[in-house]
Amino acid sequence: MKTTSILVILIGFIAFTGVCQSSRSLEKLTSTQIEDSRFQWPDDLQNGNFLNNREIRDLWITDSVVTFGLTLETDSVAYYKSIYKFNENYKSFEYITLSKFPADDRWKNVNKQVLTINENNLCTQSLQYQGDNQEWLLREKTEYNYNSDNKTDTLVKYNWDAENAIWLNSTKIEFSYNSQGLENGRIYYFADYDTHNWKKTRKEELAYNELNEVIENSTMYWDTDNNTWINSVKTTTSYLDGIASTVLYSWDSVGWIFNKRKDGLRVDLYTVGYKGYTFQNNLTWLFDFSEEIGYNDQGKVISQENYVFDKVDSLWTGRTKIYNNYNDLGQLLSVIHYDWRIGGWLLYYKDQFAYNEQGLVFYNCTYSWVSSENRWNKNVSSTSFFTNVSSINNIDYSIVQIYPNPCTNQLSLDFDIANANPINYQIFSPSGSMVKAGTVNSTQSISVELLRTGLYLIQAQCGNRVYTGKFIKN
């Protein structure tokens, strides 16, 4: 797992803007009497009720998330709960899940995760427990080690041997990086069943072009008998107008052979299309699937349609269709899913979200479509609760501006911060590859002249403030 992924998992519970709008107390949260009226939140949540107050500088953390299931026609009850417990300096916390069904008279332990975080806000250890009635049984440990650049060096998992009260090796991953700090390889190990010694099992290697975009990803397996690596599969990637196209190869006795292909094409400024093919009988490419993704002005996905090709009847059949709706602040309000039935798309289910004043999701709900009654039926909802810890908050939350957008040669970031902290930035392509990174001050712009035309994601940090946004390069 990459360092950035670990950060998202560990610190995703912490938000850096606004005021919590949750009227329920923590005491009620921890009780067994939590109920959620089916009609507490309307189907169409209005933008004006949930606004971000970006001027208030508080730090909020998630206390708990309670999941509700519909049990009666007009009501639903809590049956699943997640609780977060932090220590006084926020360098470790517990993540606990509990369940409670209508026949139960109390919450029952399900899982617990205890994480330790170092001074760089990176996880160094994770302990996993399994619930047994009202007790916790130790199950698994994961240790993370980092290099001098705070990138993941090794990730090691252990299983707890309760009978002998010792940790046993389970799996291990070793990471490597190129001179630019980009990950270029992983080696996977598993523990021998009898000796518990490490044995190599798989290796992955990455290669990049001059823009730091991934152009090759290969996988090899360890041949224990011959003490060497054996090729398995590889993917090569090319880019046109910022859109990735890939070819998947398989290895056999004569070398690399074609397997699958995915061609990407920019339909227009806001639409990207893909066509997938399978190499048939080592002779020709046959249609496999097609996909079209639509974006709005902010670069957020608003639609996605996917079709598969029926080779027998030579016709296209729908597989997935999704529409995303956002408010004026760019917050995701709903995701509507469609199902393909009898040659056409039909409403299937939707996810809906509501935000409090600081921009955190405090309520989400899933509905299924009842076609016979032409209405949405509520299935499962969840409510999040937050705690203010502004006493440890020394972060400046001034408004960020990114301009011009779209841009041609130069891009500027305005953190509106009084001090002169440097701005560290990373720019990623739509495929997720980092194409540019560096450091500028508050008066300097970022050169994007060499970037291909298309959509990009930028992540920038100034002091303790982190900003993520999207821009279009013309």
Q: Are 141 and 127 in contact (CB under 8 A)?
A: yes
pLDDT digit string, tens, across residues 96-141 = 998 887 667 788 889 999 998 887 778 899 999 999 877 899 999 9
Q: Give me the residue label for tokens 């001179």.
A: 179
Q: Could you tell me which residue, 328 or 35, shows the higher pLDDT?
A: 328
Rounded mean pLDDT, 265-290: 92
Please name the helix (run of DSSP H) or strand (run of DSSP E) that holds residue 467, with its range, or none.
Answer: strand 465-473
Q: Which of 143-157, 318-332, 417-431 has the lowest mean pLDDT?
A: 417-431
Looking at residue 442, what is its pLDDT? 73
72 pLDDT higher than 70: no
pLDDT digit string, tens, across residues 140-154 = 999 999 999 889 999
Q: Could you tell me which residue, 252 or 416, shows the higher pLDDT?
A: 252
What is the pTM assigned to this prediction? 0.70
Q: Could you tell me which residue, 167 or 426, shows the higher pLDDT?
A: 167
Three-state secondary structure string covering 71-97: CCCCEEEEEEEEEEEECCCCCEEEEEE
Looking at residue 406, what is its pLDDT? 86
Q: What CATH class is the domain 401-473? A: mainly beta
Looking at residue 55, what is its pLDDT? 27
Mean pLDDT across the chain: 79
Confidence at 88, pLDDT banded by 50, 70, 90: low
Which tokens belong to 301? Answer: 């996905």
Q: Are 411 and 448 in contact (CB under 8 A)?
A: yes
Looking at residue 44, what is its pLDDT? 35
Looking at residue 386, what is its pLDDT? 77
Residue spans per domain, the chain: 3-392, 401-473
Q: Could you tell me which residue, 191 or 73, shows the higher pLDDT?
A: 191
Q: CA-to-CA distance for 121 and 105, rounded, in angstroms?
A: 39
Which tokens belong to 399? Answer: 């408004």
Q: Which of 40-54, 270-284, 413-427 has the lowest mean pLDDT?
A: 40-54
Q: Which of 28-37, 203-212, 228-237, 276-285 has the lowest mean pLDDT?
A: 28-37
